[in-house]
């Protein structure tokens, strides 16, 4: 192993040592031994890793600890540098460019896996939460969960597609937007600015509600029909809506904005408490609230195929690996639009 990588036996990485407020420094930079791929794994040299709000939830302890001292990061673009001896049918080889996403294991045997809902598998495992992720120079992934990447995108632009893009795509499906329908988007960060482009390309009329002036400008540039404040009513009743901001207080105004039979999809893995809903105003006339839980590999493949056929414009902000803690602080305080990406 050491001979294959110029004699080095260690790498730079960041670990969540003591989850807590990001200003308190829950991430610690260190050197660690190179990860060893198992028989069914690929080992990759990390070329870029997106900075996702889920990483912030892991660092701050909003999500329970699954692996003590985990290396976060699950939007990983990498070059395969080693292949486990049992990797055969997936057809990966040294030198391939691959993606490592959030979902990294399912049992394949439970009722959810067998009916095509592997994202609900009770034995599922996730990159950057259950296993070390991409805030590092090297990472490993089971070959069956590695993703082939669309051509025509830089490494930095590809990284956000691997979670922000995939989850936004699943959220669109969960929101059940009718053909030519009116879609509301609440919050306009990394995932929302991708999902909005997919929705527009599919013929939806998109209305964006966000508090950030720079995000409003970006939404307009990407084809939004209207852009308003975070809790403002849209100019028309909505057929569907997606809540990307992790703010439960936005659920009532989003539900009030829905037309009869409308659907709100809540896209985040964590949400602050939802205030009381009024049945007549928020839920009657067959309105629905649906959560979004991870994604399936089929979702990932469908979305990446879409990204290959339709050019998605990514707004990214690069940080060196040494500045991963700064990137999460900036994310927490909304200091950039679009998505942040670590480039080792």
* pLDDT beyond 60 at 204: yes
| Secondary structure of 206-224 in HEC code, one letter for each residue | EEEECCCHHHHHHHHHCCC
* pLDDT beyond 90 at 231: yes
Contact 187, 193 (CB under 8 A): no
Instruction: State residue 87's pLDDT score.
Output: 87
**Distance between CA atoms of residues 254 and 75, nearest Å:** 29
pLDDT tens-digit map of 120-148: 999 999 999 999 999 999 999 999 999 99
Contact 136, 13 (CB under 8 A): yes
**Distance between CA atoms of residues 296 and 79, nearest Å:** 23
Instruction: State residue 162's pLDDT score.
Output: 98
**Distance between CA atoms of residues 89 and 163, nearest Å:** 25
| Secondary structure element (H or E) that encloses residue 172, with its range | helix 164-175
Instruction: State residue 195's pLDDT score.
Output: 98
Phi, psi of 147 (to 5 degrees): -115, 140
* pLDDT beyond 80 at 17: yes
Contact 308, 151 (CB under 8 A): yes
* pLDDT beyond 50 at 257: yes
Report, as an integer, the average pLDDT of 248-276: 97
* pLDDT beyond 90 at 4: no
Cα within 13 Å of Cα(266), Cβ side? 20
Report, as an integer, the average pLDDT of 10-29: 97
Structure tokens at 122: 């009770």
Instruction: State residue 15's pLDDT score.
Output: 98
Phi, psi of 272 (to 5 degrees): -65, 170
Closest C-alpha to 118, from 131, 139, 104: 104
Instruction: State residue 5's pLDDT score.
Output: 62
**Distance between CA atoms of residues 343 and 73, nearest Å:** 12
* pLDDT beyond 70 at 320: yes
* 91 pLDDT tier (thresholds 50, 70, 90): confident
Cα within 13 Å of Cα(31), Cβ side? 4
Determine the length of the chain. Answer: 344
Instruction: State residue 1's pLDDT score.
Output: 41
User: Pairing between strand 10-16 and 27-33?
Assistant: antiparallel
Q: What is the mean pLDDT of the chain?
A: 96
């Amino acid at each position: 192993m050491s001979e294959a990588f110029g004699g080095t036996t260690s790498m730079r990485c960041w670990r969540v040592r003591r989850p807590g407020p990001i200003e308190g420094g829950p991430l610690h930079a260190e050197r660690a031994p190179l990860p060893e791929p198992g028989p069914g794994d690929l080992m990759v040299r990390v070329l870029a890793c997106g900075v996702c709000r889920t990483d912030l939830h892991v660092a701050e302890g909003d999500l329970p600890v699954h692996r003590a001292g985990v290396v976060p990061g699950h939007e990983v673009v990498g070059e395969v540098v080693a292949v486990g001896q049992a990797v055969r049918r997936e057809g990966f080889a040294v030198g391939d460019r691959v993606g490592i996403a959030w979902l990294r294991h399912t049992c394949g045997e439970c009722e959810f896996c067998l009916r095509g809902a592997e994202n609900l598998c009770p034995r599922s495992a996730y990159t950057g939460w259950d296993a070390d992720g991409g805030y590092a120079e090297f990472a490993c992934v089971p070959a069956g969960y590695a993703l082939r990447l669309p051509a025509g995108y830089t490494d930095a632009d590809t990284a956000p597609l691997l979670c922000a893009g995939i989850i936004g795509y699943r959220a669109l499906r969960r929101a059940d937007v009718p053909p030519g329908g009116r879609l509301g988007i609440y919050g306009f960060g990394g995932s929302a600015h991708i999902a909005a482009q997919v929705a527009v390309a599919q013929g939806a009329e998109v209305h964006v509600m966000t508090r950030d002036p720079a995000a409003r400008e970006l939404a307009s540039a990407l084809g939004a029909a209207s852009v308003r404040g975070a809790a403002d009513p849209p100019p028309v009743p909505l057929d569907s809506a997606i809540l990307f901001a992790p703010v439960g207080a936005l659920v009532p105004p989003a539900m009030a904005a829905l037309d009869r039979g409308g659907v709100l999809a809540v896209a985040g893995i964590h949400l602050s408490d939802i205030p009381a809903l009024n049945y007549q105003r928020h839920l009657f006339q067959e309105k629905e609230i649906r959560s979004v839980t991870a994604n399936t590999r089929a979702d990932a493949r469908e979305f990446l195929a879409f990204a290959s056929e339709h050019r998605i414009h990514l707004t990214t902000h690069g940080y060196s690996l040494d500045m991963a803690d700064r990137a999460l602080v900036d994310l927490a305080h909304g200091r950039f639009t679009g998505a942040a990406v670590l480039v080792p």
